[in-house]
Amino acid sequence: MVLARIVFMAGSLLSLVALHDGLLGRATGGFNSAYVGSLVLMCTLGYYVVAKIGQAALGPQRRTGGRTGVYMDMQQQNKTAIVTGVPKLTIENVWILVYGLGAVVFVMAYTCLGVEPVSLTCMGIGMGLLCMDELVHPKREMLAVYVAVRIGALLSGLTSLCLIFVEGFGEMVSRFLSTSDWPAAIGGVGLPFLSQFLMLCVRDYRKYTVGGVIEMCEFGLPFAVILGGCLLWTAEAERRHGDEGASYELLLNETMEWYRNLTRDSAQDPVAGWAAYLSLVPFLLAPVLVLYVACVLEGCAVDPLLAVSLAAAIQYTVREGPSVLNIYALLCSCVGLLLRVGSELNFKKVDRFNGQEASRQIPSRVLREAEVRDLQAASEAPETAPLNPDHAAV
């Protein structure tokens, strides 16, 4: 299960990158990943609304089929309950489950798309905080061998991401720092790293159980969509203001360039490509986000860390070509994957059934000892003891 989870997350991340590069081309603006992530979140919310409508339309027939009376009786019994299965709407829960998790979902959405490999790398390095906290304050008892292997997997994943970060450090400097584009630097480098601190707070200060993991993600999705809508609305306002006669620098703004690339009719960026991309990406991004939240709540944040390291190493190797650091990063991520899978293996000897052997439920030694005790009790019993069939001597 652990191997399938890591491979699925890494494959989904690589598929998201392949879809973007194949349908839309590589990004050119510092805010391009945030804009694309906002559009993807809106499409995800659309799919979610359609799924909820279908569930509401098909759910009552499925629940009431064959037992309508029982269902109505249960409904009448629970009618007096104030809230069932939903946490109390306190300020703390709103901040943690809605605003906190919503901000994490928003940052994770545009980071996992892989438009900016630097953002994906910084997000993976930030996950190391969650992994170290899980080992320092474990939620369940761990054997010393298990902890040692987990530490080895964590160090392998972090080493791989650090090598990738060193390989792409020059690109990051030329992209963000040399141009003094601090908003893009904070959104592309700072927020993916700091969002893991916020996820740590969401995990530790969650006071109520909100059903399953999917129900918990439902709390953060609307606020993430609101953040994406505000970002796109601001970009649209800047574009309209620039069209009305703003300065020359504003006309060459990255936001305007992104919108021009979105609306122009060219062979490199057709509307059909955007439609196909936005319709397919939610089916890959949503499982990754749900698995990420599930791993963090379960205490296995090292799994998404290894998936990110593996995907980032392959992405850099494909884009920039094989280099020494990229090859070492790929090897480290593979070693971490093997250590993580090996930590969950159970090497107990498998018992094989043999019909000629004695019964394992009651060993023969126990039967012989019981017979010896019965014989000793019979020999030590007095001769005048009554012949009672329930007596121990008989």
Q: What is the DSSP letter of 57?
A: H
Among the listed residues 174, 169, 172, the one whose alpha carbon sits nearest the alpha carbon of residue 187: 172
Residues 135 and 330 sit within 8 Å (Cβ to Cβ): no
**Euclidean distance between CA atoms 334 and 309, whole angstroms:** 9
Buried b (16+ CB within 10 A) or exposed e, 282-314: bebbbebbebbbbbbbebbbbbbbbbbbbbbbb
> Residue 365: in which H helix or E strand, if any?
helix 364-380
| Predicted pLDDT of residue 217 | 84
Residue 302 inside a domain? The answer is: yes
| Domain span at 133 | 2-59+88-343
Does residue 163 sit within a domain? Answer: yes
Place of tokens 């069939």: 389
Nearest to 150 by CA among 128, 129, 135, 133: 135
- State if pTM tops 0.85: no
Half-sphere exposure of 179 (CA within 13 A, CB side): 13
| Structural domain includes residue 126 | yes
Is 149 inside any structural domain?
yes
Task: With respect to residue 50, please indicate whether it lies within any of the assigned structural domains.
Answer: yes
Q: Determine whether 61 is exposed, middle or buried from the number of CB atoms within 10 Å of its CB (0-12, 13-18, 19+).
A: exposed
Token representation of residue 341:
């899978």
Per-residue pLDDT of the chain (394 residues; tens, 9 = 90+): 889 999 999 999 999 988 888 888 776 555 678 888 889 999 999 999 898 888 888 865 544 444 444 444 444 444 433 334 445 566 777 788 788 889 999 999 999 988 888 888 889 999 988 889 888 888 777 888 888 899 999 999 999 999 988 887 777 777 666 666 677 778 878 888 888 888 888 887 765 555 677 878 888 898 999 998 888 888 777 666 655 444 444 444 555 455 555 555 444 446 788 888 889 999 999 999 999 998 888 888 899 999 999 999 998 888 777 888 888 989 999 999 999 998 887 755 444 544 445 555 555 665 567 677 777 777 766 555 454 544 444 4
Both structure tokens of 132: 């170290």
Tell me, rounded to whole angstroms, the distance of Cα 283 from its chain centroid: 14
Look up residue 92 and give its two tokens: 């703390």
Rounded-to-integer distance, Cα 207 and Cα 90, Å: 10
Nearest to 28 by CA among 281, 185, 258, 182: 258
67 found inside a domain: no
The verdict on residue 132 lying in a domain is yes
Residue 394 covered by a domain:
no
The CB-side HSE value for 252 (13 A sphere, CA atoms) comes to 2
The number of domains in the chain is 1
How would DSSP label each residue in 178-191?
TTT-HHHHIIIIIH
At residue 64, the pLDDT reads 47
pLDDT at 207: 55
Which position has the token pair 């019993």? 381
